[in-house]
Amino acid sequence: MADPARELESKVLKLPARARARLAVRLIDSLDPDVDPHSEALWLKEAERRLRELRSGTVAGIPAKDVFRKARSTLR
């Protein structure tokens, strides 16, 4: 008998990216239903502020490869 979770996973991975992202958020939320709404709102506000800074050019992003390289060297 096939594993229902694997079958569902296979179907879900064929969805458009936006639908997969929405589903991922719902699944993660279902694992920790006791999230503090105030903290969640503060994190969202911070993320939006950082995005505005990036888009306006106030700050420059750091390429992921550089971040990972630095993290790996720090952990050694």
* Joined tokens for residue 68: 């990972």
Asked if residues 54 and 61 have their Cβ atoms less than 8 Å apart, the reply is yes
Task: Provide the CA 40 distance to its chain's centre, in angstroms.
Answer: 14
User: What does the pLDDT read at residue 12?
Assistant: 95
The tens-digit pLDDT sequence of the chain (76 residues) is 579 999 999 999 999 999 999 999 899 889 887 878 899 899 999 999 999 999 999 999 999 999 999 999 999 9
Q: What is the DSSP string of 16-65?
A: -HHHHHHHHHHHHHHH-TT--HHHHHHHHHHHHHHHHHHHHTSS----HH
What is residue 75's predicted lDDT score, i.e. its pLDDT?
A: 93
Total count of domains within the chain: 1
Q: Which domain does 12 fall in, by range?
A: 4-75
pLDDT of res. 51: 96
For position 1, what pLDDT does the model report?
A: 54
Confidence at residue 2, expressed as pLDDT on a 0 to 100 scale = 75
